């Protein structure tokens, strides 16, 4: 058994794809046309970290209720954790791409960590070895 996908509600598909692939280095695993339950067009967009693992289903907000969740899916808590082998290189690359860090790097018993916001404002931990 494994957790295959987690839905991330976004404002628009293409800027979210660009952020996750160009800035964070994820791979675009799927981008296919689809339909909502009532027949309106949408896309099935999945990004995954290099080498596989749990992917993100990038879902464009549909309606006012879902739009209210964009950027606040975990109500201000860190809800996503990006583990990297080279913390300093990943941190520099993200700074160069203008990623907003809300907490600077620090060293904890479990490794190096800094908190950043994704393209819609959700909080993530960037995690690396101590």
- Which pLDDT belongs to residue 5? 97
Q: Do domains 1-70 and 73-130 have the same CATH topology?
A: yes
Tell me what pLDDT residue 52 has: 85
- What topology is assigned to 73-130 in CATH? 2,3-Dihydroxybiphenyl 1,2-Dioxygenase; domain 1 (3.10.180)
For residues 69 and 87, give the distance between their C-alpha atoms in angstroms, rounded to a whole number. 29
What is the pTM assigned to this prediction?
Answer: 0.92
For residue range 62-112, list pLDDT tens digits in order.
Answer: 989 998 889 988 998 999 999 999 999 999 999 999 999 999 999 999 999
User: Domain residues of the chain, as ranges?
Assistant: 1-70, 73-130
| Residue 84 contacts residue 94 (beta carbons within 8 Å) | no
**pLDDT at position 130, please?**
86
CA geometry: angle 107, 8, 52, nearest 5 deg = 70
Q: What is the three-class DSSP state of 33? A: strand
Whether domain 1-70 has CATH 3.10.180.10: yes
pLDDT in tens, 10-44: 999 999 999 999 999 999 999 999 988 888 889 99
């Amino acid at each position: 058994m494994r957790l295959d996908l987690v839905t991330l509600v976004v404002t628009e598909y293409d800027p979210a794809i660009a952020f996750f692939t160009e800035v964070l280095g994820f791979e675009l695993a799927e981008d296919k046309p689809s339909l909502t339950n009532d027949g309106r067009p949408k896309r099935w967009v999945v990004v995954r970290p290099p080498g596989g693992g749990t992917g993100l289903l990038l879902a464009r907000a549909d309606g006012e209720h879902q739009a209210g969740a964009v950027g606040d899916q975990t109500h201000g808590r860190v809800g996503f954790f990006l583990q990297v082998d080279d913390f300093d290189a990943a941190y520099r690359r993200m700074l160069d791409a203008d990623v907003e860090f809300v907490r600077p790097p620090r060293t904890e018993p479990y490794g190096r960590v800094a908190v950043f916001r994704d393209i819609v404002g959700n909080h993530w931990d960037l995690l690396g070895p101590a």
